[in-house]
Structure 1
């Protein structure tokens, strides 16, 4: 098994800690870390240049506060599909919304969909 394959396996292991990731940040696979590890919001803030924001948008549970803070970094197609968004949040972030995914994956009615499309 190659060294990279070993680090890939380590990166998906459920027992590694954020401290381990920090110590071995040059070796771990950050795409896999962002997908398989439960990362704290503070950790993602600290390592924002290493984080794969598309993967985070899809696989991490993000608060609306965090989404608002990093709205320019996140993948809104995935945010609208995989994150639970409140109506108020969607109203305040209309310009970022991926409308097809909002319609398919968020709990909204036709009136609200028409409102955010305008």
Structure 2
């Protein structure tokens, strides 16, 4: 097995810690880290130039505060599909929303959907 394949397997392991990732940040597969590890928002902030924002948007549980802070980095198609968003948050971020995924995956009322589609 090649060295990179070993690091890919390690990157998917459920037992590695953020400290381990920091220590081996040059070796780990960051796409796999973003997908398979539960990362704190502080960790993501610290390594914002290493993380894959699309993968973060899909696989990490993000607070609305964090989503707002990094709204330009995140993949809104995935945010609308995989994150739980409040109606108030969606109202204030309407121009970022993926309308189809909001309709399919978020709990919204008909009035908001009608307004979103206009």
TM norm. shorter chain > 0.5: yes
- Residues in 1 aligned to 2:90 and 2:109: alpha-carbon distance in whole angstroms: 13
After the TM superposition, list the runs of 4 or more consecutive aligned residues in structure 1 that deviate by more than 6 angstroms.
Answer: none
Instruction: Give unpaired runs (5+ residues) of structure 1.
Output: none
**Aligned residue number for residue 58 of structure 1:** 58
- Residues in 2 aligned to 1:69 and 1:101: alpha-carbon distance in whole angstroms: 21
Offset of 1:109 from its aligned partner? 2.4
- Residues in 1 aligned to 2:108 and 2:93: alpha-carbon distance in whole angstroms: 15
Q: Deviations over 1:15-46 (max 9, x none)?
A: 11101101110100000000000000000000
Residue correspondences, number: 118
Task: Check if 1:10 corresponds to 2:38.
Answer: no
**Aligned residue number for residue 95 of structure 2:** 95
- Give the aligned CA root-mean-square deviation in angstroms: 0.7
Instruction: Give unpaired runs (5+ residues) of structure 2.
Output: none
**Aligned residue number for residue 28 of structure 1:** 28
